[in-house]
Structure 1
């Protein structure tokens, strides 16, 4: 497949930009050993030097200044960051220089010459296997934060907004006691409040080991904790598109509460806070799903159905978040949050498909004689350790005894 079919959205530290051209320069470090009275010399290969990457980024249109400012801020931060190369994928890179010319005959337009140097271990060209959920998650967080800041700036009821911000984080804080937070409220510093929400979601994920063995219980535990902690949407009336007016038909209730006993707090002020926390939970769950899928590619422990369940649960929560933004905000305002959330959902789906496609096809096998999974694995593959794989694929109630004529699903040789 040509690279034109697999181009990635370029970004640096989560700041996206369009690309006109790239140039990647590689060079070997060598030591030349020459000797008197002897023609030629010996060349010692000292490995590859750090790659140098030149990118011409382009910004245009009425809103180009904001996008350009975001990139300049990312370039000015100290240390290396994640660069998503449109062809070769993500790598750790250090920004070296950038040149931003403007021409009088081309208003609202700038071509930015960027220079990066690789800052880390070798990342081979075209070694990209996984869609970058991490990079897309950063872009999604930036998009949802922009929507949040706009809603706060145009708030019609600041007091209700502060109360809703506290209420929206209460469930997460109850699940994760002792977490250090900034203490800022959503009105005085929406960015710090959003960072607190992200920190609480990451804290819930960190409670799971995601260690050796099957990671499915850890993922399911995180899903249960998030859905128990976040405020879930409950749509009444026509709802949707209140856009900060406080007149929409959307209200929020905590899971397991009695709506009749707990009067809903209505209006976009509460929707603003709860919608953002829901998005943070959805993105955090997507990152956990990617962890599970990457581990699954290295050491298979799940059946294809279980892999599909991990991706499906993650995508379902993202879809709930997308639906919520569409109900709460006008289309043009919600678009900044929903589009990057769609990219995160697609990356999870593609990762799950890649894990399943990397395995041999499933075939039906009829047991010919009394056996057990370990003996059958030895007969089929010459590897008795694949017995657990046969048990997972078939959910055997009594794995010690396989009877003649029993139909099993196994991987092809």
Structure 2
């Protein structure tokens, strides 16, 4: 059984050793007592742990005690905090409080005694601001919805709907109906088919648009994984592009109605995609700045990279594997797709709609860039011969436990036989 003597450590300050006669330390809690009128008992507010203030009575002994004292004086007079090795509290980052007093007694030749008081030195920290890119996307989506409805009303004022036949609008209606059926099923259910949708748009376009945005506002967007969110976003942008692929309708009024409805449906699809993007959280990655390239906790598990919500913790309770860490390549591909598509939408937009689309595009790019920063990048390697996943993981990462990651990402049927050829693995 360890005794108190076993716990004692050689004392030093800034690497200069000394012996200790006695030591003390002030500890406790910082409190504020609140007393109230006509109330016998006060309320004591806890303000946190009190600053630790160790004190030491030490001595230097030996024929070179003067040289030892000179080094210790230099350490005491050095600027900034230093490391104190306390005999039983261990290593502490402290600053000297006031003056350390050195004493030499003629009757104690070869001995110099001193008293020193310290205070633990914390770090100077300032509040750091972080841009909420998710909220910016959501705000931009709301602004786009408002601008889109205003733009539609302006365009509709220039159209004489009485001159538009359902037949002239049918091809456009078919494209739009397919798009809203894929993304806004509750809205599409208001119509029996594309022909009914065309008839409703021609005869009551404002009603149809009001219902479209009402459905959009009633939809809920929850985060179930970056992988599924990126798939949903890709699907929305595919529907958005298809919705505008119909040939131009014949007749000025038919073409005007076509342009107005295509723009408003595309805007609604974009708003839906933006709300899905806004629901994607930016993963909080534990600090791995001190981790080497072979540190097994420096890259999340492959299951985490594909959308699972599992979290692993170390013994201290810190997150080892962040929630749903995205694959950088997938996020950047979605970002570029959105950037290009929205840019094309704005080429023939009115001023107000162009401004809303530009704000939306910039917000999406910022948010997806933040998500990508927390992701894992995938690279391709080519083993020259078949190799076991366990050996491949150890050779690349110095961590054989990541063999499952190699197997899962590449759908290897036999972990003991990863075929030669292109293999996708995490960069680090």
TM-score after normalising by structure 1: 0.47
Q: Which has the larger radius of gyration?
A: 2
